[in-house]
A and B are shown apart, each in its own frame.
Chain A
Amino acid sequence: MRHTISVLVENKFGVLSRISGLFSGRGYNIESLSVGETIDPQVSVMTIVTIGDDWIIEQITKQLNKLIDVIKVVDMTELDHVEREMVMIKVAPRQEDKAEVLRIAEIFRGRVVDSSQKTYTIEITGDEKKIAAIVELLKPMGIKEFVRTGKIAISREGIKRP
């Protein structure tokens, strides 16, 4: 099963390689990984999306916790949480498809952040399904470039699962 794991780490050089080395060394998958500073500049948060059965996920969280630079590990999948990812898609549509591209962008609440004579670059934020859906729609229009941030996740307040 797919899990989104949030890891608070000391913001030191080499930490990313300790984490990625743990995954590669033990043969765990990383589907996506995003890193950024928190409000406290000495602390970074990494959001890792990984796949594994319960045994593997338990080992992954334990192994992460064991790393000296790791402050806290939360398996978001166990909690109510919000996940988002941002993608930027550069589309090079034929003349007759241009309007359709803009319409799709609008439906998905995307923004056009750059345009040229031949291309539009659309910025979209959303969860996995939403992004998969817009990619599906834009594909026939001719996607020239595609970048994504990797997922980030945050827990919801107030609702506690039993």
Chain B
Amino acid sequence: MKISGAEIFIESLKKEGVKYIFGYPGGVVLNIFDFLHDEKDLQLILTRHEQGAVHAADGFARATGKAGVALVTSGPGATNTVTGIATASMDSIPLVVFSGQVPTLLIGNDAFQEADIVGITRPCTKYNYLVKDVKDLAAIIKEAFYIATTGRPGPVLIDLPKDVTSAKADFVWPDTVEMRTYKPTYEGNRYMINQAAHMIAKAKKPVIIAGGGVISSGASKELKELAEHTDIPVTMTLMGLGAFPGSHKLSLGMPGMHGTYYANKAIQDSDLLVAVGMRFDDRVTGKISAFAPNAKIVHVDIDPTSIRKNVRVDVPIVGDVKKVLQTMNKVLKEEVKEQWGEVRKAWLKQINAWKTERPMSYEKDTDIIKPQYVIEKIHELTRGDAIIATEVGQNQMWTAQFYKFDKPRTLLTSGGLGTMGYGFPAAIGAQFAFPNKLVIDVAGDGSIQMNIQELATAVINKLPVKVAILNNRFLGMVRQWQELFYQERYAHTKLEETIPDFVKIAEAYGAVGLRATKSSEVEPVLKEAFSIRKTVFMDFVIDWKEKVYPMVPAGAAIDEMLFREETKKSEKKLKAVK
């Protein structure tokens, strides 16, 4: 029996096990929306902006590991997805985004609400399609999910002209996908793995750097086994937080620009870096030529282009992190004879000395609210059992520094693209996946205003998403740079006069709004928010002067860090000179 393209779309998504589509209607996707209207198993979640829809799908994907799905109309609907798609692309998140398109015959005519979205998204998708014939639709959808979720995951876009969704064809769902051009490498080269294992056994000062690839390949168990068996300290990139328990004694926290003193010191001093599922982003390496000068580098990644892109690599291993680590652990346990106990003791002693020398800390205050205190309290009250989304900027870095992520898929944050406005819709997507989990978005007063309209989505769907706004009345991270490097000339970062009343905004949408202005109010506000099964905005009016430390200035080596205490002293000195 022949069915329409719109029905094929729905049947295909059901075959893929999709339950939620995040989307927004419009003229050319009406055929699909009309069928979705009666659909029981496949729910369309109406966001209030297409960008919100894609971020929500992305949050769903990060929290579950499954592909997130979004559906939008042509033209502006499609172009509004670009930020969301680019966000997912930079962080290797599996998404399948469907955009409506004007009827095939009108394509290229500058028709109403026409945009060449396949052309526009080509550089920020893993792959994209324009469906020209309804007969291809089912196979394309199958292939799109396959591409999005395998290898190095990423977003895939499918552009659906209106006439394709109304045309009819038999529904034929392919059992498998066979592509001659796309065959990711999963098994690492055995010779290279052996070599790496022996280097690990012999190393005197090894460090593991774990990235988002550990999470996407589900290799946390294998990573922990490797670290514990070989007694190697582990530092996790922003995308890798949760891949290894942050509260583990071998954890070094995050490296890089706002990383811990001890992670950066360990990297710079190490003789072997074992990089797994990470890509040596500039925020991690700082000045490349001064990065880990004495270290040999073992690099495990499923994407060959990540290897030798930014840093020299001594042992490249292309493969799935989980499979490679399984083999590596086996080799280390069964074939390697070296004893590393004694050498490691000395190295771990050195690391502990760094940890004692400069632990992660902040100036406590009994009156004014310190943002780090809010994060610590969130961690304490949730006992780490929550899904935390962040926006981008200081709020993101304080969360990364002061919340100990122990489990994978508990941090949703835009690492690569650094998208303000990501966190709130992402939290909404994650809450759909885990309705009974505590989902918290840590926001800033700038970022939250970038997708604040999603309050409507949260409220109407009765989602108990909590938003903790660290309100410093500034675009804080940019202000921090202006303060340190632009002589305190705060060009367009002061939001002071125009900050809306977040409590009233929450209430206007039917959510709950709470506010804390004193340190003593932080805990009561958090407790109250966590006890309400409703969407809650918490407005924490924090110390605006607070900065993210340590900090590696742009272009410096990662052990050339600025610290709170020293910077304060030099500020005083500067003032004395004036």
Contacts and interface: CB of A to CB of B under 8 A. Distances in A.
Interface stretch (A65-73, A116-124, A133-141, A154-162): A65-73
Interface stretch (B28-36, B121-129, B224-232): B121-129
B383 interface: no
A21 interface: yes
Given A68-B181, A69-B181, A71-B180, A62 B304 contact: yes
- Looking at chain A's contact residues, the main secondary structure is helix
A96 to B, nearest CB: 52
Contacts of A70: 181
Contacts of B147: 68
Interface string A50-65: 0000010011001101
Given A68-B147, A68-B181, A69-B181, A62 B305 contact: yes
B354 to A, nearest CB: 33
A18 interface: yes
Interface in A63-92: 63, 65-66, 68-71
Interface residues of A, number: 17
A66 B303 contact: yes
A55 B118 CA distance: 30
A18 B305 contact: no
Given A59-B309, A65-B304, A68-B127, A17 B122 contact: yes
Given A10-B181, A68-B147, A25 B123 contact: yes
A14 interface: yes
A133 B319 CA distance: 49
B317 to A, nearest CB: 15
A149 B147 CA distance: 35
B119, B122, B130, B179 interface centre (most CB from chain A within 10 Å): B122
B178 to A, nearest CB: 14
Contacts of B462: none
Contacts of B182: 68
B305 A21 contact: no
A10 B181 CA distance: 8
B489 interface: no
Nearest to A13: B130
Contacts of B303: 66
B308 interface: yes
Nearest to A14: B118
Nearest to A69: B181
B353 to A, nearest CB: 37
Contacts of B119: 17
Contacts of B180: 71
A18 B123 CA distance: 8
Contact of B123 (A21, A55, A62, A69): A21
A55 B304 contact: no
B122, B123, B181, B182 interface centre (most CB from chain A within 10 Å): B181
A18 B119 CA distance: 9
B181 A18 contact: no
A10, A14, A66 interface centre (most CB from chain B within 10 Å): A66
Contact of B181 (A14, A59, A63, A71): A71
Contacts of B309: 59
Contacts of A59: 305, 308-309
Interface in A1-40: 10, 14, 17-18, 21, 25
B308 A55 contact: yes
Given A14-B118, A14-B122, A17-B122, A66 B304 contact: yes
A58 B304 CA distance: 10
Contacts of B118: 14
B10 to A, nearest CB: 26
Contacts of B123: 21, 25
B308 A21 contact: no
A2 to B, nearest CB: 21
Nearest to B118: A14
B304 A18 contact: no
B226 to A, nearest CB: 26
A69 B129 CA distance: 12
A58 B312 CA distance: 12
Contacts of A63: 305
B568 to A, nearest CB: 41
A148 B284 CA distance: 46
A17 B116 CA distance: 13
A144 B355 CA distance: 74
Contacts of B126: 68
A63 B309 CA distance: 10
B305 A66 contact: yes
A58 B308 contact: yes
Nearest to B151: A66
Contacts of A58: 308
A71 B309 CA distance: 22
Nearest to A60: B305
Contacts of A65: 304
Interface string B119-142: 100110011001000000000000
A10 B180 CA distance: 10
B483 to A, nearest CB: 33
Nearest to A24: B123
Contacts of A25: 123
A18 B122 contact: yes
A65 B181 CA distance: 9
Contacts of A71: 180-181
A77 B308 CA distance: 21
B101 to A, nearest CB: 14
Contacts of A10: 181
Contacts of A21: 122-123
7 contacts: A59-B308, A62-B304, A66-B303, A66-B305, A68-B126, A68-B181, A68-B182
Given A55-B308, A63-B305, A68-B147, 20 more contacts: A10-B181, A14-B122, A14-B130, A17-B119, A18-B122, A21-B122, A25-B123, A58-B308, A59-B305, A59-B308, A62-B304, A62-B305, A65-B304, A66-B303, A66-B304, A66-B305, A68-B181, A70-B181, A71-B180, A71-B181
Across the A-B interface, the 7 shortest Cβ-Cβ residue pairs: A62-B305, A68-B127, A62-B304, A25-B123, A71-B181, A68-B182, A63-B305
